[in-house]
Each structure stands twice: as C-alpha cells, then as structure tokens.
C-alpha cells in the first residue's frame, strides 16, 4: 500500500514539475519580445518559482512541527516581524539586500518566538496559535505602516515589500534564492522523518529516538530564517504556504512529509506563478498590474476561514 502511494506521489510530483516547466516557458515566451523584456520576464519567473517553492516547503514544515494545519509563516507573524526590521535597516543603513536579509531574520524569529510563547502560555491549541499569531502580525504590521512614510523617502519602492510584489525581481536575488533552496533541499533528508514522528506526539518521537525539542527548534529556526529572507526580497506573500500543504495532502491522501513537503513546494510554485501571470498578463491590460501578494491574499484568506470553520465546527456551544 505504501509503495503504491509512493509511486503515485512520485508520478504526481513529476507531472507537477513538468507542468511548472511548461508554465514557466509560456510565462516568458507568450508573445514576441525584445531582449530586455526577455531578461526581465526570465528573472521575474525564476524569482516567483524559487519563492513559491521555498514558502511551500516551509509551510509544510511549520504545520508538521507545530502539529497545526492552520499556520504558515504569515499567520505566525514571521512576515510582518521581518518586514518591520527590514524597514528599520533601510532607515538606518539604506537599502542593501544582504543587510536587509540578515536583519530580517532577527525580526522574523523574534515575532515567531513571541507568537509561540503566547500560544503555549494560553494552552498551545490550534486556536491559541492562530490568535497569538494574528495579534503579533497586527502589531508588527502596524509598526511597519508607521515606518513606511519615513522609508519611502529613502527607498521609494519599499511599498512593494508591504504588499508583496515581484515587479522588482532582479538577477541579484537569484544567488540568494538558490542558496535558500539548496539549504531547504538538504534539510529535507534531515527533518522529514523526525517531523513525521512529531506529528504523532512527543512521546512517540522519543520512543523512535528523536529529540522532539531539538528537531522542533531546528525546524522553527530554519523555517523562520528562510521565510524572513524571502520577505526581505519580495515582501509579504501570505497564505501560499498555508494552502499548498493542504492541497498536497488532499492529492496524495497522506500526511507523510516525505511525500507532502516536496509536492507542497512544487504546488506552491505553480500557484504563485499562475497568480503572478494572471496579474501581469491579464489584469495589467485592464486595471494595471496588481501586486501578487494582494491577489494571493484575496484567494488565500477565504481558504483560511474555511479551514477554521471546518476544524472547529461543533466545538463551540
């Protein structure tokens, strides 16, 4: 049974990768273009795919290690926390992707630590994580809004980071994104088995020889750091890391992270590229290009509300 599911999952993953490759080609060559436009589209498509893959895998990691299907880097406050410190770094040092990325990690992990601390203090339930995450998210988002007016005078394109956009995609980002992807792929071989045991409980993990505190901390720090760096490059892109693991688990009918995590990354890349193409190719012809982060939120937020309703239906009253 497991062998059949593995074969099916691998075929689905291969099909998804092929579909992603076809979509990438179409996204670049869908009409005649100049060399300059070709370079811009190539850089943008590559940035979208890398970002989607990273956020999708991170989403599956966070949901597994916290045993909570309602979280991603955005819900936990990592995005808003890292954005706040990025804005601070721009005010103090000007814009530099390496400085901003380094500082973003501090902000993202700080926000994540606050969220987890509050959630564990009030019981550690799914509801506690969502409520504390939303509170921390609101706090750092509000602080970021206050800083936008100062930041804009030094870096006018800072507003794109608050909304989440790939309009600023640059080849300068590719090396950093490739490093993040390699780190994530390497972590797969270290984390997926411990994450499977953590989903069943800390006692079960200990029985199988995995230290739950160590692997949970390692997963949280890794996921928070990589998500923060992505935010420093392209801003707040919420819900994509929440939706992709759910779609992956639905498609392959299992919660096994050995199968879910890679598929989640590819599904996330597909969804994000489709969203960016929709904005760049279709909406731009009528109302102008809308930032990708805004469109993702329009579709992701209802999905999040649906998850909350289905998960807690019958528990109230």
Domains for the chain: give ranges and CATH numbers. 67-309 (1.10.3470.10)
Q: What is the three-class DSSP state of 121?
A: helix
Predicted pLDDT at 313: 66
Instruction: Say what the pLDDT of residue 286 is.
Output: 77
Q: Tell me the percentage of the chain whose pLDDT exceeds 70.
A: 97
Q: Where does the pLDDT of residue 115 fall: very low under 50, low under 70, confident under 90, or very high at 90 and above?
A: very high
* pLDDT bucket at 1, cuts 50 / 70 / 90: low
Question: Which residue, 160, 168, 169, 177, is CA-closest to 294?
Answer: 160
Confidence of residue 2 (pLDDT cuts 50, 70, 90): low
Does 88 have pLDDT greater than 90?
A: yes
Residue 65: pLDDT over 50: yes
Please give the torsion angle defined by the CA atoms of residues 145, 150, 155 and 159, in that order, rounded to the nearest 10 degrees. 20
pLDDT score for 315 = 52
Among the ranges given (147-156, 208-217, 283-292), the one the predictor scored with the smallest mean pLDDT: 283-292
Digit-coded pLDDT (tens) for 232-266: 999 999 899 999 999 999 999 889 999 999 999 99
Q: What is the mean pLDDT of the chain?
A: 89
Tens of pLDDT along 219-229? 999 999 999 99
CA angle, residues 213, 131, 317, in degrees to nearest 5: 110
Q: Measured between alpha carbons, how far apart are the two ends of the chain, in Å?
A: 40
Question: Is residue 262 within 8 Å of 13, Cβ to Cβ?
Answer: yes
Angle subtended by helix axes 2-29 and 240-252, to nearest 10: 130
The whole-number average pLDDT for the span 88-114 is 92
Examine the pLDDT at 4 and tell me if it is beyond 80. Answer: no
pLDDT band at 316 (very low <50, low <70, confident <90, very high): very low
Contacts of residue 29, Cβ cutoff 8 Å, sequence gap at least 6: none
The Cα–Cα gap between 197 and 193 comes to: 7
Mean pLDDT of 157-169: 85
How many Cα atoms are found within 13 Å in the side-chain-facing hemisphere of 86?
A: 36
Backbone angles phi, psi at 181, to 5 degrees: -65, -40
| pLDDT (mean) for 133-138 | 93
Backbone angles phi, psi at 122, to 5 degrees: -100, 20
- The per-residue pLDDT for range 175-198, each reduced to its tens digit, is 899 999 999 999 999 999 999 999
- pLDDT score of 94: 84
Structure pTM? 0.93
pLDDT top residue among 274 and 10: 274
29-63 per-position pLDDT tens digit = 877 777 778 888 899 999 999 999 999 999 999 99
Residues in CB range of 248: below 8 A, 6 or more apart: 60, 259, 260, 263, 264, 267
């Amino acid at each position: 049974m497991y062998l059949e599911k593995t074969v099916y999952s691998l075929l689905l993953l291969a099909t998804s990768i092929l579909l992603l490759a076809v979509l990438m080609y179409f996204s670049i060559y869908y009409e005649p273009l100049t060399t300059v436009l070709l370079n811009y589209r190539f850089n943008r498509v590559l940035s979208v795919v890398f970002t989607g893959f990273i956020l999708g895998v991170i989403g599956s990691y966070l949901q597994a290690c916290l045993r909570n299907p309602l979280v991603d880097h955005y819900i936990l406050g990592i995005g808003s926390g890292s954005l706040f410190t990025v804005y601070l770094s721009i005010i103090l040092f000007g814009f530099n992707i390496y400085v901003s990325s380094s500082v973003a990690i501090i902000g993202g992990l700080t926000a994540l630590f606050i969220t987890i601390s509050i959630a564990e203090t009030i019981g550690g339930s799914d509801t506690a994580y969502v409520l504390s995450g939303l509170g921390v998210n609101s706090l750092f988002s509000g602080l970021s809004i206050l800083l936008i007016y100062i930041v804009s005078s030094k870096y006018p394109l800072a507003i794109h980071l608050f909304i989440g956009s790939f309009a600023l995609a640059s080849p300068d980002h590719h090396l950093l994104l490739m490093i993040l992807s390699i780190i994530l792929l390497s972590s797969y071989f270290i984390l997926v088995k411990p994450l499977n045991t953590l989903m069943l409980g800390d006692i079960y993990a200990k029985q199988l020889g995995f230290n739950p505190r160590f692997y949970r901390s390692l997963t949280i720090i890794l996921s928070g750091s990589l998500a923060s760096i992505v935010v420093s490059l392209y801003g707040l892109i919420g819900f994509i890391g929440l939706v992709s693991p759910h779609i992956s688990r639905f498609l392959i009918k299992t919660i096994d992270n050995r199968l879910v995590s890679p598929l989640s990354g590819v599904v996330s890349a597909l969804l994000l590229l489709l969203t960016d193409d929709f904005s760049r190719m279709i909406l731009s012809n009528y109302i102008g290009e809308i930032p990708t982060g805004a469109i993702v939120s329009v579709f992701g937020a209802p999905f999040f509300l649906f998850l909350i309703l289905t998960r807690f239906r019958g528990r109230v009253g």
